[in-house]
Each structure stands twice: as C-alpha cells, then as structure tokens.
Amino acid sequence: LSQLFRPLDLLGMVYRTIRQGVIDMAAMFDLVDTKASIVDEPGAPALRVGAGHVRFDGVRFGYDPDRAILKGIDLDVPAGTTLAVVGPSGAGKSTLARLLYRFYDVDEGAITIDGQDIAAVTQASLREAIGIVPQDTVLFNDTIGYNIAYGRADADQAQVERAAQGAAIAGFIERQPDGYATRVGERGLKLSGGEKQRVAIARTLLKDPPILILDEATSALDSRTEGEILATLNEIERGRTTIVIAHRLSTIVHADQIVVLDGGVAAERGTHAELLRRGGLYAQMWARQAQERDEALAAE
Ligand code: ATP
C-alpha cells in the first residue's frame, strides 16, 4: 500500500513547494529525485532567526548510503559574511546547498542556524529564512511584475519597483511598451540568461532573507554581463550571510572565506590571497581559469 502513497506524497510535496513560492528550486534541486521523507518533527518550533550564523558540524551525507559525497564537513559562516564553495565538478557543492535548505537530512553531524539544528525546526520557517538565486530561473507565462513579486503576493507596486532597481533591471522593464505589465515567457518577451537572473535577484530582494544561497551559472557569460551581474550580486549580499557556489573564481575574490571541496572533504580553506600563496588546488584552478579568461577576452 505504501507504494501507492509514494506518488501522492510526492505530488503533495510539489504542491506545497509551489505554494511556498520556491518553484525555482525545481531546477536547482531536481525535486522529482528528492526523497519525500523529510517531515517536520511533531511539535517542531519555528526557526528563530537572529543575525543568521550558519554552521556545518561534522556533516556526512550520501544520496546512496554506500557512497558518501560529504565525509565530515565543518563550516562556520558568521552572520553577514560570505563563504564561497569551489571545487571540481561533482565534488558536492550543490549538495551542501540542498542540505542547508533541508531537501535531505544529513547522515551524521548537524547544520545549525543561530544555534538551532535545522532538522528540529519547521521546514516552512527554515525556507522562509533562506533566499536562493538559482543557476536557471524559471519564469512564468505572466507579467514581469508578477514574476518579480512571485512568492510575495502582498508586495505592492512600489516595493516591486524598488526590488527591480536593486537588481538593475528597472531600466530594462521601463523601456518595454507595457512596463511591469509586459508579459514574459513562452508567449511573451524572451529574457536572456542575465536578465532572468536579475529577476531572481529582484525576487530575493523582495523576500529579504537573512541567509542567501547563490548558485552561479556554469555557462560562461560575456565579460560585460558578468561584470553587471557581479555588481548586483554584491548588492544583495550586503548584510546577509551568503553561501556562493562558484564556478568562476573571478567572482569570489572578495569572499570572506573560500572552501575548496574535493574528495568529500574541505581540502583547502582561506581567503583568495591565502589560497594563492598556498599554491595548492585553488591556485591551480585560478591559474587555469586566468588563462581561459585571457583566451576568451582575446576572442571577444
Ligand atoms: P557541479 O560543479 O558539476 O555542479 P557539484 O560539486 O555541485 O557539481 P553535486 O551536484 O553536489 O556536485 O553532486 C555531488 C555528487 O552527488 C555527484 O557525484 C552527483 O552525481 C551526485 N548526486 C547529485 N545529486 C544526486 C541525486 N539526486 N541522487 C544521487 N546522486 C546525486
């Protein structure tokens, strides 16, 4: 019988997820693959977020019990600071973000926010506290204003416009014939990857979460677009505890700390300058990307 209920469970979860305004997660977290077994403990309290101090203590996790992806990760992200996570493809960078959002429970260790174990509080309150700018933003076939306000049905026009300004997309919207009422998506205006990301940034500004996860797009942007996006990302990071999953190291030079994940452990950690001096994996990745950047610039 339980076999029969699993699809229903999953549907319920997808529905709740959409209701909570986190449909964007579908792309990042691959909802359909997610176990439907994460449930609130009976009587779980809401997370009480203070300044937003995030810690991972001895976190072990594997999608498959026989294959650990993270083998004892300690992270300490003081409130309001930025941690960048880098490492080879498949190292488990996105997995860290999925665990913080509690799409999965850790196998060992704990993740805490302001001293509270995220497994012991309600998922709704946890997800309320965390904003995510995903790699690929899903837009609805609706107006651009609706897309920015998505998940914040109570936002008024002035708030939507302020968020659009913060995300450096207000000018673009105002130039459209119908302004904020311009339809986007399959049957409307097609937005570029960078414009879509700005819609996600505007949404996040409107949500105003104390904790932020930025999942940087893997696809290369031209250097001008990258520079513009960086400026707006810096804007939303200010005053929030931020975890950046970075593919391009040039975007995280100023992070308060950088962790290099490799083989399931934090192989290196430090600031950009410290890691370059160390001459290890990070320094090698930096040298390789600097060369690729020079080649791309020469070709532009
Ligand atoms: P990239 O830089 O390529 O995005 P990443 O460091 O973010 O990689 P993850 O997406 O965290 O890596 O994946 C880490 C490992 O876990 C990979 O080996 C991947 O195949 C595996 N994995 C990811 N998602 C799942 C899943 N839903 N089920 C089973 N294994 C998974």
- Give the confidence band of 230 by pLDDT, cuts at 50, 70, 90: confident
Q: What is the distance in A from the centroid of ligand 1 to the CA of 295?
A: 29
- DSSP per-residue letters across 41-99: PTTPPPP--SS--EEEEEEEE-SBTTB-SEEEEEEEE-TT-EEEEE-STTSSHHHHHHH
The answer to whether the CB of 93 is under 6 A from ligand 1 is: yes
Which has the minimum average pLDDT: 28-37, 38-47, 184-193?
28-37
Q: What distance, in Å, lies between the first and last C-alpha atoms of the chain?
A: 60
Q: How far is CA 73 from CA 85, 110, 111, 276, 281, in A?
A: 12, 10, 10, 22, 18
Give per-residue pLDDT as tens, 99-149.
999 999 999 999 999 999 999 999 999 999 999 888 778 888 899 999 999
Please give the backbone phi and psi of residue 131, each rounded to the nearest 5 degrees, phi first. Answer: -105, 145
Which strand (E) or helix (H) includes residue 94? helix 93-100
Q: For position 5, what pLDDT does the model report?
A: 52
Q: For position 26, what pLDDT does the model report?
A: 46
The answer to whether the CB of 69 is under 6 A from ligand 1 is: yes
Q: For position 28, what pLDDT does the model report?
A: 47
Task: Work out the number of other CB atoms within 10 angstroms of the CB of residue 176.
Answer: 15
User: What residues contact residue 261 under an 8 Å CB cut-off, 6+ apart?
Assistant: 70, 73, 85, 86, 87, 91, 92, 93, 96, 267
Which strand (E) or helix (H) includes residue 85? strand 82-86
Closest residue by Cα to atom 28, ligand 1, is 63
Bigger pLDDT: 272 or 297? 272
In this predicted complex, what is the ipTM?
0.97
Q: What is the distance in A from the centroid of ligand 1 to the CA of 290?
A: 26
Q: What is the distance in A from the centroid of ligand 1 to the CA of 92?
A: 6
Tokens linked to 232: 């707006």
- Specify whether the CB–CB gap between 109 and 58 falls below 8 A: yes
Which has the minimum average pLDDT: 211-220, 243-252, 273-282?
211-220
The answer to whether the CB of 263 is under 6 A from ligand 1 is: no
Give per-residue pLDDT as tens, 49-93.
999 999 999 999 999 988 999 999 999 999 999 999 999 989 999
Can you tell me the mean pLDDT for 8-23? Answer: 53
Q: For position 107, what pLDDT does the model report?
A: 96
Q: What is the distance in A from the centroid of ligand 1 to the CA of 239?
A: 30
Closest residue by Cα to atom 1, ligand 1, is 89
The answer to whether the CB of 98 is under 6 A from ligand 1 is: no
Q: How far is CA 43 from CA 40, 46, 50, 65, 97, in A?
A: 8, 9, 21, 28, 26
